[in-house]
């Protein structure tokens, strides 16, 4: 494990993430601009169509992910596909999309975390293009048709508003489509690395329909593409990858890797902006409370203190916002705010602390767990809540601990719908933290979970994180697994 931790720390910050069908589809559409880039992306799409004809994560099945990925892939194949085989794939995709959308009203609402990022604004632009290309029939009163009406209303409300690199909507700039490009502050849209919001799909859209053949955008797309031609959901995401990995490792007592961790701590510390905090990438202009709070907590765990005012700057009347102009608050962001305030020495009775506690109690309702818009699994938010609250506000998470214990599978694993290493790791981290700081957890539970995790740790990690589609930050997941195995021992 020591050797593996060192290898992980040596690679940390490089942005290891598997490609996604949605972002790859946008890159595949650039054939008239760059044949090589487009062809390799197209080949990736052809190779990654799922057995049922759709695109997206094979598992878990997430309606929003499948709809947006399948639409984007079919459009790309229609623009570039020339062979009978490509036409067959489009036909298979159409059948899959019809199958998905036939129950979409119920299915989309059944996704407990809600829509993927920008879904209600991006999908209507894809639907309109697919209708125009003759891929799908007019959606009319279907759920996809209704989304188009919702988008039109939102565009009317945003009249005069400009999207630039300092607002989160730049990450989903493709939502502007052809009819909303006047919303884009074109000269101030791109980051210094040439990307739009560090998003491959938004950047490809920019190079295709906004600043055609833009040199910096194309250089960015070449830089972030995978060897197999695929594109990730976001790149770079160095701050997020480093911070979450170090936070996971910080849970392990007496971990002797100070020399290897120091450069990463220096990076986080140097990227931090007083009174503003930090964003998910050093090359991303937008800051947020989620990353700011977890970085604050992580740096403090290693003896480096930052200004707590950066966290307090996100405080609202009833919760802490994650981003400016967000539609709904993030549960995990508020959990991480609570953890940072605790680390900063705020007593439980402090008004800001009580605000977060009341919010978390309210959104949990009668459930013994939390769900969040950034992660598919309830284990992520719930485990982090237990870790943050153990010995601080035990009453808030006691039923969550009991829930985790009660749903451990016979083989020792955990998983919302099927056993996964990532979810099992979160459960072990949470129960170990509770055992150390609050109550008692039967040792057999941790031992059995750790044994299962150690035996299955090298299996492929399903994408459980929610962006514009589902994705998996590999090193973050790996660090949670390593942490949990060591804690279980």
Alpha-carbon distance of 277 to 274, in angstroms, equals 6
* Residue 141: per-residue pLDDT: 64
Lowest mean pLDDT among 101-105, 268-272, 336-340: 101-105
Q: What is the largest CA-CA distance in the chain?
A: 67
CATH 1.50.10.160 domain span(s) along the chain: 21-224
113 pLDDT band, cuts 50/70/90, is: low
Find the mean pLDDT for residues 47-58. Answer: 94
- Total Cβ atoms within 10 A of residue 78: 18
- Candidates 316, 354, 360; CA nearest to 334 is 360
Proportion of the chain above pLDDT 90, given as a percent: 79
* Residue 143: per-residue pLDDT: 67
For residue 465, give the H/E element and its range. Answer: strand 465-466
Crossing angle for the helix pair 351-364 and 394-406, to the nearest 10 degrees: 30
Alpha-carbon distance of 322 to 315, in angstroms, equals 9
Which contacts of 427-430 are long-range, i.e. CB under 8 A and separated by 24 or more positions? Answer: 427/379, 427/383, 428/453, 428/484, 428/487, 428/488, 429/248, 429/251, 429/383, 429/387, 429/480, 429/483, 429/484, 429/487, 430/382, 430/383, 430/384, 430/386, 430/387, 430/400, 430/401, 430/404
Lowest mean pLDDT among 51-55, 109-113, 443-447: 109-113
Whole-angstrom CA distances from 153 to 175, 178, 251, 473 are 14, 16, 47, 35
Across the chain, mean pLDDT equals 93
Find the mean pLDDT for residues 46-59. Answer: 94
Alpha-carbon distance of 207 to 424, in angstroms, equals 41
* Residue 48: per-residue pLDDT: 96
* Residue 108: per-residue pLDDT: 60
Alpha-carbon distance of 282 to 488, in angstroms, equals 34
Return the higher-pLDDT residue of 274 and 144.
274
Proportion of the chain above pLDDT 70, given as a percent: 95
* Residue 179: per-residue pLDDT: 84
Task: Determine the CATH number of domain 21-224.
Answer: 1.50.10.160
DSSP state of 466: E
At the top level of CATH, which class does the domain 238-488 belong to?
mainly alpha
* Residue 136: per-residue pLDDT: 75
Lowest mean pLDDT among 126-135, 139-148, 239-248, 340-349: 139-148
> Is the model's pLDDT at 85 over the cut of 90?
no
CATH 1.50.10.20 domain span(s) along the chain: 238-488
Reported as a single tens digit per residue, the pLDDT across 361-419 is 999 999 999 999 999 999 999 999 999 999 999 999 999 999 999 999 999 999 999 99
DSSP state of 231: B
> Is the model's pLDDT at 23 over the cut of 80?
yes
Find the mean pLDDT for residues 115-133. Answer: 89
> Is the model's pLDDT at 81 over the cut of 70?
no
* Residue 161: per-residue pLDDT: 83
Find the mean pLDDT for residues 228-250. Answer: 97
Find the mean pLDDT for residues 187-205. Answer: 98
> Is the model's pLDDT at 140 over the cut of 70?
no
Alpha-carbon distance of 48 to 134, in angstroms, equals 23
* Helix, strand or coil, per DSSP, at residue 202: helix
Reported as a single tens digit per residue, the pLDDT across 161-192 is 899 999 999 999 999 998 888 899 999 999 99
Query: Given phi > 0 = left and psi -120 to 50 = alpha, else beta, which region is 198?
Result: left
Reported as a single tens digit per residue, the pLDDT across 271-305 is 999 999 999 999 999 999 999 999 999 999 999 99
Find the mean pLDDT for residues 79-95. Answer: 75
Residues 171/197, Cβ–Cβ less than 8 Å: yes
Find the mean pLDDT for residues 189-213. Answer: 97
Query: What secondary structure, in 3-state letters, does 139-150 show?
Result: CCCCHHHHHHHH
> Is the model's pLDDT at 127 over the cut of 80?
yes
Reported as a single tens digit per residue, the pLDDT across 311-333 is 999 999 999 999 987 878 999 99
Find the mean pLDDT for residues 337-345. Answer: 98
* Residue 104: per-residue pLDDT: 59
Reported as a single tens digit per residue, the pLDDT across 436-466 is 999 999 999 999 999 999 999 988 899 999 9
Residues 6 or more apart whose CB falls under 8 angstroms from that of 483 comprise 248, 249, 251, 252, 425, 429
Alpha-carbon distance of 149 to 363, in angstroms, equals 29
């Amino acid at each position: 494990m020591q050797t593996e931790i060192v290898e992980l720390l040596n690679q940390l910050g490089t942005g290891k993430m598997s490609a996604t069908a949605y972002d790859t589809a946008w890159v595949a559409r650039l054939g008239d601009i760059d044949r090589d880039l487009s062809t390799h992306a197209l080949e990736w799409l052809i190779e990654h169509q799922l057995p049922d004809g759709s695109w997206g994560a094979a598992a878990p099945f997430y309606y929003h992910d499948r709809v947006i990925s399948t639409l984007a892939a079919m459009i790309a194949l229609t623009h570039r596909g020339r062979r009978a085989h490509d036409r067959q794939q489009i036909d298979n995709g159409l059948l899959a999309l019809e199958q998905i959308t036939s129950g979409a009203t119920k299915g989309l609402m059944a996704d407990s975390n809600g829509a993927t990022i920008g879904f209600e604004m991006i999908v209507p632009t894809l639907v309109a293009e697919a209708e125009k290309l003759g891929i799908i029939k007019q959606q009319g009163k279907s759920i996809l048709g209704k989304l188009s009406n919702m988008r039109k209303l939102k565009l009317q409300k945003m009249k005069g508003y400009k999207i630039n690199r300092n607002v989160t909507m730049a990450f989903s700039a493709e939502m502007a489509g052809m009819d909303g490009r006047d919303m884009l502050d074109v000269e101030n849209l791109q980051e210094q690395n040439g990307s739009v919001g560090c998003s491959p799909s938004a950047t490809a859209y920019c190079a295709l329909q906004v600043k055609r053949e833009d040199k910096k955008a194309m250089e960015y797309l070449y830089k972030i593409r995978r060897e197999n031609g695929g594109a990730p959901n976001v790149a770079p995401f160095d701050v997020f990858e480093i911070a979450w990995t170090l936070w996971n490792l910080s849970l392990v007592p007496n971990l002797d890797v100070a020399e290897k961790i120091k450069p990463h701590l220096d990076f986080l510390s140097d990227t931090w902006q007083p009174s503003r905090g930090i964003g998910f990438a050093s090359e991303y202009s937008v800051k947020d409370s989620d990353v700011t709070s977890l970085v604050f907590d992580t740096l403090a765990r290693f003896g480096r203190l930052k200004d707590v005012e950066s966290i307090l700057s996100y405080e609202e009347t009833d919760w802490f916002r994650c981003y400016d102009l967000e539609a709904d608050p993030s549960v995990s962001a508020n959990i991480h705010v609570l953890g940072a305030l605790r680390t900063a020495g705020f007593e439980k009775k402090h008004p800001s602390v009580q605000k977060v506690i009341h919010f978390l109690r309210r959104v949990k309702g009668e459930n013994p767990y939390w769900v969040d818009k950034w992660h598919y699994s309830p284990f992520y938010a719930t485990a982090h809540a237990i870790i943050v609250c153990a010995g601080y506000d035990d009453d808030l998470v006691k039923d969550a601990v009991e829930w985790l214990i009660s749903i451990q599978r016979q083989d020792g694993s955990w998983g919302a719908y099927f056993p996964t290493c990532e979810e099992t790791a979160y459960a072990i981290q949470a129960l170990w933290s509770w055992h150390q700081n609050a109550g008692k957890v039967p040792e057999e539970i941790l031992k059995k979970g750790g044994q299962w995790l150690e035996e299955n740790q090298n299996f492929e990690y399903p994408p459980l994180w929610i962006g514009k589609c589902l994705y998996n930050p590999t090193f973050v997941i790996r660090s949670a697994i390593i942490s949990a195995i060591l804690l279980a021992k």
